[in-house]
Amino acid sequence: MSAPTAILNADLHCHSQVSDGTLTPEQLAARAAANGVELWALTDHDEVGGLHRARDAAAVAGLNYLTGAEISVTFAGITVHIVGLGFDIDDRALHEGLRRTRGGREERARDMAAGLAQVGIQGAFEGALQYVGNPELISRTHFARHLVATGVCADTSEVFRRFLTEGKPGFVPFKWATLRDAVRWIVDAGGMAVIAHPGRYAFTPTEEYALFTEFIAHGGQGVEVVTGSHTTADYVKYAEMAKEFDLYASRGSDFHSPDESHTDLGALPFLPGQLKPVWEVLEGRILRPH
């Protein structure tokens, strides 16, 4: 028998300037390679606009490459992220679905700025825009960078805590894609859908069970077990959930920026050896550098 395939430095979750990261796809590929990543995917929020560059940069950097995206979904009133991997970059229905999911971000951002103005923070929309690399993808992260740069908060996590989460002045409730649509777009484009960082959602156990069950019913097959936003206890819990629900396990840093992310590209524990890794199924979708 061959060595367990779970032992691979795969990083299948990170962000570029095409969404809310600060590096270019080329800089990310070079950094991943320098950090010893063996299989890489760029997963910008609701956007595949960086993937041709990422694919070419992966080839230059000598990385095995999978296409990727992280789709914003609303499930049981909570925002959930679904990562798609290994889909066809040019799939039209996926492009259209993502375009619709991105739509409304500008209006949401104007409403966020209005909420911040009410607590005395003026000009936040224009301020956030200065950090935006993709005009269709203004996000809370860009507001956070602006409020740190202007000295309102010491770091981005303080901005989220004080201003950008449920019930705070800059928070605007928003309806993203449905779980069903997001999974369908990915699967119909030949890819695998993966529940991103399940440890981050404020679900009751019943709601979490419903998320996993419905995700699988729609054709979802994977779950992130080892990610930058999971604790060691989360690794154990979601390894068990992966086994219980017979899901493939994924691994990704969720790297956004050298200045903000505490988990660098590829700098994660390996997947627990007894899990089936997503790359086992995605074998035929991996682009190899030569």
- Which residues contribute to the site for ligand AMP (CB under 6 A)? 20, 45, 72, 139-141, 156-157, 160, 256
Task: Output 62 or 77, the one with its CB closest to Mn ion.
Answer: 77
Backbone φ and ψ for 66, nearest 5 degrees, come out as -125, 145
Q: How many CB atoms lie within 10 A of CB 208?
A: 16
- Part in contact with Mn ion (CB under 5 A); list of ranges 34-42, 74-82, 157-165, 173-181: 74-82
What lies within 8 Å, CB to CB, of 194 at 6+ separation is: 12, 82, 83, 84, 85, 220, 221, 222, 223, 224, 248, 250, 278
Nearer to ligand AMP, 141 or 263 (CB): 141
Q: Counting contacts by CB under 5 A, is residue 44 touching Mn ion?
A: no
31 binds, among ligand AMP, Mn ion, none (CB under 5 to 8 A by kind): none
* Cβ–Cβ < 8 Å for 205, 101: no
Residue nearest to ligand AMP (CB): 139
CB of 16 or CB of 156, closer to ligand AMP: 156
Asked if 20 touches Mn ion (CB under 5 A), the answer is yes
Residue with smaller CB distance to ligand AMP, 64 or 234 = 234
**Rounded distance between C-alpha atoms, residue 165 and residue 156, angstroms:** 12
Q: Total residues contacting Mn ion (rule CB under 5 A)?
A: 5
In the complex, the smallest distance separating the C-beta of residue 201 from ligand AMP, rounded to whole angstroms, is 11
Nearer to Mn ion, 108 or 243 (CB): 108
Candidate residues 55, 81, 146, 276; the one interacting with Mn ion per rule CB under 5 A: 81
Per-residue contact track with Mn ion, 200 to 239, x per CB under 5 A? ----------------------------------------
Rg of the chain over Cα atoms, rounded to whole angstroms, equals 18
Per the listing, tokens 């691994």 go with 251
- Of the CA atoms within 13 Å of residue 151, those in its CB half-sphere come to 0
Q: Could you list the beta-strand ranges (E) of the chain.
A: 10-11, 39-40, 64-65, 68-75, 78-85, 192-195, 222-227, 248-252
47 binding Mn ion? (CB under 5 A) = no
Q: Which is nearer to Mn ion, 59 or 266 (CB)?
A: 266
CB of 114 to Mn ion, least distance (A): 22
Q: Strands 192-195 and 222-227: what pairing? A: parallel
Going by C-beta distance under 8 Å and a sequence separation of 6 or more, which residues neighbour residue 5?
277, 279, 280
In the complex, least distance from residue 80 CB atom to ligand AMP, rounded to whole angstroms: 12
Choice from 44, 47, 254, 264 touching Mn ion (CB under 5 A): 254
